[in-house]
Structure 1
């Protein structure tokens, strides 16, 4: 009964919300509908072969799967790896970074008949969902085929926990279809158990993103500095993964900092690239000269023509490596109540991090970096401006905080190893014959 009600609500939402919004995005921003893929119309993966199915909703989760993909290919080379994403940006990352290693598919609409069709097409030995992606009909379809499911790098934000508690009775039956929960922290484990997961199926592994290798190509810093036409010693700060409502305080802080550091360059990286036009319009209204990253030449041999004081990153997948040239990093989604974004990419590159008070989705990594002074919480434009100028003025302090953050992250390695061990114990071997 509850599944029927869920499916009915999903169908109503599909017709009244998803389809109209998808059409608007298609005709105003050129975002593909991917309707056939969403309905499970892709060709089967192989002639009866089992596969390893990984699901990552978007960019950050897809990038975090890299060490898992490497481990699966090493330990179980007989299994082709299929990765599904929800977003087009996530799909782009998968196709660029894992070309030849995985087959990409869009995650299907969570309807019973679609889920069954996709399960047949992919023929998974198991499914690994990154970060607590719970799709009831898909999980039920896999359970009916005897396919084990893992939640890997699981986390439950404050907002998600409040929402899930409203449907706990239904959620308990959904969670019963998950074989093992590999959660990031003790608090995440406590929450998933409170929502109905069997305690014996819950394991705290830590955060896989801590283990993600930082393998910036040789010469990355020099390449970016040439691309931005930066002179030796010229300072750069990056506002990464920003949301609506954050660019204004960032620009206010930048204007104040320019009074002390007139050659300072700001790179704004909107979380969603489709907001680029919106950010550029804001910059124009505020009379800020700016340029898109995509408008920059691939190589600059002279710094005689510097870039404007604001660069807007309108590409996908470059932010993490761009952090390598930053003197200071602000991680967005945190000055507005979004929940924050990944601080670890900056810390792994020895950068001091500024973050707002709303990084509730990343409380463990924020607390870790804050405990060693590597992350400074700023509550508004005034705080951001003050801390930015303090860090820009003191290279020794920047180095000290950057080193502290790097060492703190390195001390938490081991999540990938534990997750691969859980795959061997709970998912494969021991699957259906």
Structure 2
């Protein structure tokens, strides 16, 4: 079996685990456990809190001391135990702490899976810009398959989703033992203390362009958390309207939401073209405009004929919104750093997107949902329009603050960060 096929299998399982609960856990907590919007935001914020420290920390360990493939295996074993225990919890505070443990183990695996893929592709003599997106697209397929599995099994509002995720984590931990060895970087005798501690990637903040890039990665991470946390509860709430109570959207919201990931499959495959042709600044701008459209279309969509079309369009633009900052951003970071800090730099990117950004997005979006709710009834149209305005504001500021001149060399040559 060739290396790209093995990496595709890893990517598929990596995101199948996440897709088993990420989108539907909020609905389970609100509808079955009767948590408030702030409770749900608090639980989801655990992912952000963990990602503030853990991806960078584990990335440093994988760069300097422990092989990335072995760190990957250990993390997924911890996830399996935590998710299994979470299935038994019905109290917000305890759910937060258990999901925090899960997140502390899972969030580093996102960056580690990228690191393993980049390293293996490089060892095989394959161009990462060309070959990584087709590998990563299988992660999106895994996410879709998981969402359909949860929806068609009728367990969107059940703790069964957590058991499925736990079992999948165990399988991936075992599979990771078969992956190629990813060698750690040997410290040079003359290395500085910063280098010995694995903090080299933080030097990137000295570069104004990279500092601005990481800042907006954080702000876009907040946007992503909003849709992850409240997309499913939003669709479930149409059941309050007798006209829509038995609609397809209410019965199978995850299937509709999975169209977002199907759209990802297409847009991931366009990343090499857009990055080489237009550069990271234009690609990131496309992402921000797409986020604005994602929320704006949510605001006016519903299960009726025209409303359903608007919801479907929202799912389609999500692919551009997510891929053109998340996947393209990872490739951009890969191009901008030297190979000896690859895992640390990918961990730092994940920290900004899924750490600081996700934490702020979870807490503030939960507060916003509660603010625009009366007696438990949420004013979803206003909520989504507020989020759309936020995405538009980001696009305008980014255009004037991120200075990057695109040339063909930016997309084909690795530069070393100093």
TM-score normalised by L of structure 1: 0.28
Structure having the higher strand fraction is 1
Structure having the higher helix fraction is 2
* Bigger RCO of structures 1 and 2 (CA < 8 A, at least 6 apart): 2
Larger Rg: 1
